[in-house]
Structure 1
Amino acid sequence: MTGVREAALARRSCSKVTDAAPDSAELLDLVTAAGRVADHSSLRPWRLIEMRGEDRAILGRALNKADGKKGVSSKAMRAPVVIAVVAAYRKSKVPRWEQEAVASGVAHLLSLLLDDAGWGVFWRTGEHTRSKKVAKAHGLRKNEVLLGWLYVGGKPEKARSSHRKTIDPTAFVGRMPGAR
């Protein structure tokens, strides 16, 4: 593994992956690290749902049902492992938006860790994340919302060599109005 800065600079979404995949033990190890994200009051307002094999077909049927179609959507089969990211809100003084930020942070950190471990990762969202049929398929509770899915698989050779443009940080960092 590389340093955090180097991993962040090298990270790139990989929308097409191979059939290789991390096993459950490797995934759990990476989730242990991702779970260290900043979390006000240590609420751990998130959970992940690991989908492999037939689990992806269940997701695919739910996606099609949400579109009023039958069968299995091929979207769920685009990677050998699909990880649903769920914000699981807790009763607390910590506002819901902050709890959702924690769940998003876990997802992002996990995607960075997976990428750094050599896996191709792509975070997918969209209208189906709020579909009642998709929520039911995931077994979401009343205090939970689906934030999206991490699609995980082998990193194709082409993705290993391509580089993402870096940002100009001065375009995103400023001072308070009136500051000298």
Structure 2
Amino acid sequence: MGSALEAARARRSSSKVTDEAPTREELLPLVAAAGRVADHSNLTPWRLIELRGDDRLRLGRAIGEATGDGPSTKPLRAPLLIAIVSSPRPSEKVPEWEQEAVASGVAHLLSLLLDEAGWGVMWRTGAFVRSPAVAKAHGLTRREKLLGWLYVGGRPPRDREGFRPGVDPDRILGRMPGGERP
């Protein structure tokens, strides 16, 4: 296994994947590792929902209901979808926005771990993510928010070609106004 820096530099979104997918047993240690993301007060304000097989068809129907376009085939683009759910906990110390940020961190770290394990992964969202029909299909409570899905499958052989360039870190990493330059 390489370093976290190497894994982050090598990570790519895979918009197309093959029909192969990790098993639940293969997912469990990756989910456990992703759960190590910074989590103020250890609230675990997130949960994941595994969608395979007919689950994806039910999601397609819910998306169709939300958009008024009929059943969507988008969930069939990958053999495994992992729904990322922000599930805030009551806390006087940790605001809800911070808890949602933890759920986002879990999603990103899990996508990085899946990528490093050799799977094709893409985090997908859409206007329908927050629709009542899609929330109901996932069994969300009133307080929970769906942040999207990790579409997971086998990585096509040429998936690493043509990736986007990285950011210019010197342009992105700034200082507070009035602070000294290093």
Q: TM-score range by the shorter chain?
A: over 0.9
Aligned AA for 1:74? Answer: T
* Counterpart for residue 73 of structure 1: 72
Aligned AA for 2:84? Answer: V
The whole-number CA distance in structure 2 between the counterparts of 1:74 and 1:113 is 27
Q: How does 1:45-64 map to 2 (within 5 A)?
A: 45-64=45-64
1:10 and 2:10 aligned: yes
* Counterpart for residue 127 of structure 2: 127
1:90 and 2:58 aligned: no
Aligned AA for 2:106? Answer: V
* Counterpart for residue 149 of structure 1: 149
Provide the secondary structure at the position in 1 that maps to 2:38: coil
Aligned AA for 2:73? Answer: S
Provide the secondary structure at the position in 1 that maps to 2:160: helix
Note the C-alpha offset of 1:34.
Answer: 0.1
Note the C-alpha offset of 1:137.
Answer: 0.4
Note the C-alpha offset of 1:73.
Answer: 1.2
The whole-number CA distance in structure 2 between the counterparts of 1:90 and 1:132 is 21
- Identical positions, percent: 64
The whole-number CA distance in structure 2 between the counterparts of 1:157 and 1:6 is 20
Structure 1 runs (4+) deviating above 4 angstroms are none
Note the C-alpha offset of 1:28.
Answer: 1.0
Provide the secondary structure at the position in 1 that maps to 2:153: strand
CA-based RMSD of the aligned residues comes to 1.0
Query: TM (normalized to structure 1)?
Result: 0.96
Note the C-alpha offset of 1:162.
Answer: 4.3
CA contact (8 A) 2:121 2:151 kept: yes
* Counterpart for residue 34 of structure 1: 34
Higher mean alpha-carbon deviation, 167-176 vs 79-88, is at 167-176
Unmatched tracts of structure 1, length 5 or more: none
Residue by residue over 1:153-178, the C-alpha shift from the partner in whole angstroms, topping out at 9 and shown as x without a partner, is 00001113444412210011111111
* Counterpart for residue 104 of structure 1: 104
Aligned AA for 1:19? Answer: D
Unmatched tracts of structure 2, length 5 or more: none
Residue by residue over 1:108-166, the C-alpha shift from the partner in whole angstroms, topping out at 9 and shown as x without a partner, is 00000000000000001121111000000000001201000000000001113444412
Provide the secondary structure at the position in 2 that maps to 1:137: helix
Provide the secondary structure at the position in 2 that maps to 1:5: helix
Give the length in aligned residue pairs.
179
CA contact (8 A) 1:81 1:153 kept: yes
1:159 and 2:159 aligned: yes
Residue by residue over 1:83-103, the C-alpha shift from the partner in whole angstroms, topping out at 9 and shown as x without a partner, is 100000110021010000000
